[in-house]
A = this chain, B = another copy of it.
Amino acid sequence: MQVFTFERGENMLSLHEYESRIDRPVMMKIPEFNRENRLKHILFSSQMDKMMIDMLCRTALKIKHISSTKPGSDYLLSLLSHKRAMLYFTQVSTRTFMSFMAASQILGIKCNEIRDQNLSSEFKGESPLDSIRMFSSYFDVIIMRSKTPNFAEACAYLMNDLDQFNQRSVPIINAGAGADEHPTQALLDIFTLQRTFGFTSKKDSSKWNYYRELKKNHPDLTKGLNDKVYGFCGDLRRGRTVRSLVNLLSLYENISVAFISPDSEDFRFPEEEIKRLEHRGVTVYEYFSLDEAIDKVDMLYMTRIQKEYDKPDQSKNYDELIGEFILTPERAERLKTYCPILHPFPRNEEIPFEIDSNPRAMYFRQARNGMWVRAALIAHLFDVESQIANYYQDKFSEYHNYNMEAI
């Protein structure tokens, strides 16, 4: 029984001090959120290096395979059966919420939630950090999406301070708050690309092989994420997911990025960020219509042009404008055979329903991949990855060796 663990005079840092910590450049903060090559909290995509990403994706794939059998599912359920999660989504996002719920449930975690925006009014007058500390009293991980910028980060500092004073402290996961980063979305995109660019097929055999088949028309095609042209289309100024994904892609070799958007500051990818990418060795192209770029990309990442951001004086020719950035079936036919179509969803008219049956459409699989990747992240936070790897080795390695290779 610990009664008095705080030493007098050691003041816990105040919310105000968090602000000065928040204002630092991201790279200075990372050591506080990582620990011995492990993630302690999940806040920024730049917390993950290539090795970490590969490891998380391998775990995600193992979880996917293991959960395909009943005994495998039950094994996963047993891993974190003793943990309870709080999903604190005061900014509504049903997709991300459901994905995290499912990911937690796969590992046996008991879920608790606040999704009702009205409930937050209850906390009026109370410090939001008090609410978070309350959650940390009852639950073992806090997955959060808030409207308050940097709130997840401030919560992570609070937890670190508590940890330092030997008080109860739990991991914080940023589920894409406000204009902040959306690190788990970027990771699921990478996972989807890894699986796609493995170029394997169910029909692969010693006689016929999907990758060799593709090489006939694309002799320079390599497996994996290196040596590719990544196309991003739509509203690239506000697309949080685009920025997070491009950041992770820049970790790979010989990468080009094609930004496809209306020729306006309102939609183009920010110039200072383009410079930063180029500085890291990424080749950047800009296109102002989809037609120009469509046959050049190895991946096409579509995003919504959100009407709510449009300036009123532009609304006249809005439909015409947006028409240039819709993936019509005709345009889709001009994509390379193997080029995956991704979309963070929800979609508007930029991807018509007819495209759903196009073999390049990866966006629904991408969503499901989010569940596996988030389960892998949670498994990582609670340090049960090696248990998953061992179970996989025991029960699945023979059967799935081939597919794991693909990554």
Chain A residues packing against B (C-beta within 8 Å): 1-8, 10-12, 14-15, 67, 70, 73-74, 77-78, 81-82, 84, 86, 92-95, 98-99, 101-102, 105, 110, 112, 114-116, 119, 122-123, 125-127, 130-131, 133-135, 137-139, 165, 167-168, 195-196, 198-202, 210, 345-348, 353-354, 356-361, 364, 367-368, 371, 403, 406
Contacts and interface: CB of A to CB of B under 8 A. Distances in A.
A95 B364 contact: no
9 contacts: A1-B195, A12-B353, A73-B82, A74-B78, A74-B82, A94-B114, A126-B346, A137-B367, A168-B364
- A95, A119, A368: which has the most chain B beta carbons within 10 Å? A95
A368 B67 contact: no
B359 A7 contact: yes
A5 B358 CA distance: 9
Nearest to A71: B82
Contact of A357 (B6, B114, B135): B6
B74 A8 contact: no
B1 A198 contact: yes
B165 A357 contact: yes
B139 A102 contact: yes
A82 B67 contact: yes
A368 B137 contact: yes
Contacts of A8: 358-359
Contacts of A84: 102, 105
